[in-house]
Amino acid sequence: MIEIGGNGRLWLLSGRRSSYALHLTDEDALLHLHWGPRLTVPDAEALAAEPLPAERGFESPLDGREEYPVEGGPRFVRPALSVRAAGVRGTEWRFQESAVSGDELRLRFHDPLHHLDITLHYRMRDDGDVIERWTTLTHTGTPDDAPLELLRADSAAWSLPAGERHRLSHLYGRWAAESRLARTDLTPGEKVIGSRRGHTSHQHLPWIAIDDGTATEESGEVHSCALAWSGSWRIAVQRLADGTVQTVGGAGHDEAGLLLLAPGESFTTPVFAGLWTQRGFGAASRGWHAWQLAHVIPGAHQERPVLYNSWEATEFEVSEEQQRSLARLAAGLGVELFVVDDGWFGSRTSDRAGLGDWTPNPDRFPQGLKPLADEVHGLGMRFGIWVEPEMVNADSDLYRAHPDWVQHHPGRTRTEFRNQLVLNLARPDVRAYLWERLDTLLSSAPIDYVKWDFNRSFTDPGWPGDPYPQRLGIEHVRGLYDLLGRLRAAHPGVAFESCSGGGGRIDLGILGLTDQVWTSDNTDPLDRLAIQHGFSQLHPARVMAAWVTDSPNVMGNQRTSGLGFRFVSAMAGVLGIGGDLTKWSEAELTEARDWVALYKRIRPVVQHGEQYRLRPPGGGGLSAVQYVRGEETVVLAWLHAQSYGEPQPPLRLRGLDPDSAYEDLATGTVHRGAVLSHHGLRTGLRGDLDAAVFHLRRTEQVG
């Protein structure tokens, strides 16, 4: 809902439980007023009437209060916008008009010297508390005017009122150890997270949360924001001298220049979304999850199938017969989607060759993929394949034909990682090639699923011959989005997974075009709990692919763990199996079948329920996650290690009706809702690496 006050110069956006307010001063400064509990227009008008802090030497009253701090004039904060034209930097803008259409507010400003229109967009939907913000920049000049260089064009700035203490939560990591949660106090100055790698990165996810140091999982005020962009990015959080905090974020990692806008051209930034709650980090996550399920992830109401992926079992030693054997074993377990990973195409018998040549390897699949796909379908499963379209090996037909299609600087080394180079998707000819190859591939066999990988970062993002080669950073991502969008439209039955050596490209941008993500190449079930804990801060279980692999964990830390622990860990998201089933014993296959059957029973609750993190992993003890959907609730609990004599704490469940009874569907035990909520569920876990699933259903009112 959008309300207007203050003689048409104040806007109040309200969602389910929160409001966001801003106003224009008489001098056309656009100031932030409120981001918190719901307000009325008179409340916001009263706020707007409060005087700005008194002028203090060497400080600007605007700093920390502007909705979109531009470069230049009376400001010293990090600008959201930095524009250069004909040697002149900075922006002086005047308000032009506001417009409301549905739940979107648009505020248009104009800089006459630069012929630049700046439109700030806000959208807050009635069904939640996420505010989507983005900015459109348009060169309104005539063909004779100089182009505008967007040195920096952030999506939005978020302002928090002065406080004695601000604590920042963010997600960091590395390959095979993504999305670790860090929580640290902000001191005066700037904290910058981001990626200069050309993709979202394993190192940081574009999400932050800020509280006053007292919020817990279930209580306290939390402001958080997340950027919907899959290329290089930056979020800068600044705590100013007066205790206010301002956060700017957007595409690109520095101010070296994103794009040139010719007269008539526009750039629309990615969305930088924000969410406020006063019910703790858990409610913040549930708010983000609900918004993604309702408005970001395509077809999110559908359940994701249990998949089998052959990568850890076979690596590059792929053959049709071996895939058929694995498929038969997988089908016997109740798997619903069978995915052939790397090694099926071109001359791809190792990571040294073949990327770029997207036709089946004639020795391995002499009749193409269709016979295998048909067999997989005959076994009652869907069929999927792995691709890595943005990459090329130097040893490939594609590179031999088009060495100029890769990102490179003239006269400089073409850096290889994993023996591969990055194609320049900003080039229309590269996109046309990939579109033709992938469209043909998806038409050549009944393929239902594509794991879209991206296994190295940008290192030499040059584009010889282009007048403004650094636009590649933005245009590569736009090219990727365009390609994915076209493929989805042409093949609506195909689901896509975003992978980048595990979790190197997970963000709200790619999730608008994919059905799930590969969370991490680390499939160790214990390591995975920490990764999943961080992941759940922003993203829902419905997109979090997790596989059960072999023990010891051959591709990772070699840890030995029981099949039950491995399954319960992977059941916290979209369950998959990635072990070498030909080596599993009959007993293991039977046990696995039971776990898959149990997962299918709890799947609607896990994938679409509200998630409560009951106890975080780490510390060596008990951790647990609960999901609630309608009458049903599921608890997954893991015990890392038990010290002798140390009791396991009961798990106090959330989101239950204290006046109802809940039946454990496995044992028939009936629990009272009040007891589960206030005293807890005893897990009975013991020893090392133990785990359990509790599936409860509300049965009756208790007297």
Active-site residue numbers?
Answer: 453, 521
67 part of the interface to ligand GLA, by CB under 6 A: no
Q: Which residue number, 114 or 539, has a Cβ lying nearer to ligand GLA?
A: 539
63 binding ligand GLA? (CB under 6 A):
no
Counting contacts by CB under 6 A, is residue 673 touching ligand GLA?
no
Q: Does 453 bind ligand GLA (CB under 6 A)?
A: yes
386 in contact with ligand GLA (CB under 6 A): yes
Convert 679-702 to b/e letters by CB count within 10 Å (16 or more is b).
Answer: eebebebeeebbbbbbbbebeeeb
Nearest 5°: phi and psi at 313?
-75, -35
Per DSSP, the residues of 137-177 read: EEE-S-TTSPPEEEEEE-SEEEEE---S--EEEEEEEETTE
CB closer to ligand GLA, 287 vs 356: 356
Question: Which positions ≥6 away from 646 have C-beta within 8 Å?
Answer: 621
- Which residue carries 């990591």 as its tokens? 173
Q: Which is nearer to ligand GLA, 203 or 247 (CB)?
A: 203
**Given 22, 30, 494, 499, the residue binding ligand GLA (CB under 6 A):** 499
Near ligand GLA by CB under 6 A: residue from 390, 521, 550, 632: 521
Q: Cα 303–304–305 angle (5° rounding)?
A: 115
- The CB-of-311 to ligand GLA minimum distance in angstroms stands at 5
> What's the min distance (Å) between Cβ of 355 and ligand GLA?
9
311 binding ligand GLA? (CB under 6 A):
yes
Question: The tokens of 208 are what?
Answer: 């932050």
Q: How far is the CB of 390 from ligand GLA (least distance, A)?
A: 13
Which residues lie below 8 Å from residue 478, measured CB to CB, with a gap of 6+? 426
Is 524 among the residues that bind ligand GLA (CB under 6 A)?
no
Q: Is 632 in the site for ligand GLA (CB under 6 A)?
A: no
The nearer residue to ligand GLA, 287 or 525, going by C-beta atoms, is: 525
Given 129, 341, 357, 448, the residue binding ligand GLA (CB under 6 A):
341
Select from 455, 498, 536, 611 the one that contacts ligand GLA (CB under 6 A).
455
Q: Please say which residue, 91 or 455, places its beta carbon nearer to ligand GLA.
A: 455
Query: Which residue lies nearer to ligand GLA by CB, 342 or 375?
Result: 342
Rounded distance between C-alpha atoms, residue 267 and residue 385, angstroms? 34
Listed ranges 230-238, 499-507, 646-654, 661-669: which one lies at the site for ligand GLA (CB under 6 A): 499-507
3-class DSSP state for residue 293?
A: helix
Q: Would you say 351 or 397 has its CB closer to ligand GLA?
A: 351
Beta carbon of residue 384, minimum distance to ligand GLA (angstroms, whole number): 12
Our CB check for ligand GLA shows the closer of 320 and 342 to be 342
Q: Which residue has the tokens 């604590």?
A: 167
| SS3 assignment, position 505 | coil
Can residue 502 be called a binding residue for ligand GLA (CB under 6 A)?
Answer: yes
Q: Please, what is the minimum distance in Å from the beta carbon of residue 491 to ligand GLA?
A: 21
CB-CB neighbours of 611 under 10 Å? 23
Pairing of the two strands 245-251 and 116-124: unpaired
Q: Which helix or strand (DSSP H or E) is residue 489 part of?
A: helix 472-490
Give the CA distances from residue 566 to residues 129, 134, 221, in Å, rounded to whole numbers and listed in that order. Answer: 35, 41, 35
**Other CB atoms within 10 A of residue 443 CB:** 11
Per the CB < 8 A criterion, the answer to whether 559 and 590 are in contact is: no
Judged by beta carbon, residue 502 or residue 579, the one nearer ligand GLA is 502
Backbone angle region of 559, left / alpha / beta, with phi > 0 → left and psi within -120 to 50 → alpha: beta
Q: Which residue is nearest to ligand GLA (CB)?
A: 342
Is residue 285 a contact residue for ligand GLA (CB under 6 A)? no
Q: Which of 619, 456, 598 is nearest to 533 (CA)?
A: 619
HEC per residue, 255-292: CCCCEEECCCCEEECCCEEEEEECEHHHHHHHHHHHHH
Cα–Cα distance for residue pair 458/545, rounded to 1 Å: 25
Give the total of residues touching ligand GLA (CB under 6 A): 11
Of the candidate spans 15-23, 480-488, 498-506, 677-685, the one that interacts with ligand GLA by CB under 6 A turns out to be 498-506
Q: Is 612 in the site for ligand GLA (CB under 6 A)?
A: no
Applying CB under 6 A, does 449 fall inside the site for ligand GLA?
Answer: no
303-320: buried (b, 16+ CB within 10 Å) or exposed (e) per residue? ebbbbbbbbbbbeeebeb
Exactly one of 79, 250, 282, 501 binds ligand GLA (CB under 6 A); which one?
Answer: 501
Shortest distance (Å) from residue 417 CB to ligand GLA: 12
- Least distance (Å) between residue 386 CB and ligand GLA: 5
> Least separation, in Å, of the C-beta of 349 and ligand GLA?
12
Nearer to ligand GLA, 132 or 527 (CB): 527
Q: CA separation (Å) from 89 to 38, 64, 83, 156, 538? A: 39, 21, 6, 20, 36
Least CB distance to ligand GLA at residue 226 (A)? 23
What are the distances in angstroms from CA 144 to CA 112, 261, 266, 333, 401? 15, 13, 17, 67, 39
Q: Which stretch binds ligand GLA (CB under 6 A): 250-258, 317-325, 494-502, 640-648?
A: 494-502
- Return residues touching ligand GLA (CB under 6 A): 311, 341-342, 386, 453, 455, 499, 501-502, 518, 521
